[in-house]
Amino acid sequence: MCKKCGKTITQISISRSSTCEFCGADLHSCINCQFYSPGSHYDCHETIDELVKDKDRANFCDYFSPAKIEAGEVENSKSKSDQAKAAFAALFG
């Protein structure tokens, strides 16, 4: 499932250049990885050597493994700033 739009991905294998067929988001990215863990060292459960700054863009990480998420988890994957912006927009439209 794409953590950006929440749609189920039908692709069998995900390469570095794979994108979501619905929203066009990069799939080989930290936010779509089972090892992504905000708050961990470099936000990853694996022992990576380099920080990946843009967590929702494609990267070359060899540890990447697609996360298995449920539809309700997509909202929780948004950054705090995105959640704050959405709350502001809901209040002041």
- Report residue 66 as tokens: 């697609």
| Amino acid at position 17, single letter | S
The reported pTM is 0.69
Mean pLDDT computed over every residue of the chain = 84
Residue 12: what pLDDT? Answer: 79
Residue 45: what pLDDT? Answer: 94
| Residues across the chain | 93
The pLDDT tens digits of the residues spanning 10-37 come to: 877 899 999 999 999 999 999 999 999 9
Residue 48 domain boundaries: 1-93
Q: Number of folded domains in the chain?
A: 1
Tell me the C-alpha distance between 28 and 81, whole Å.
23
Residue 93: what pLDDT? Answer: 65
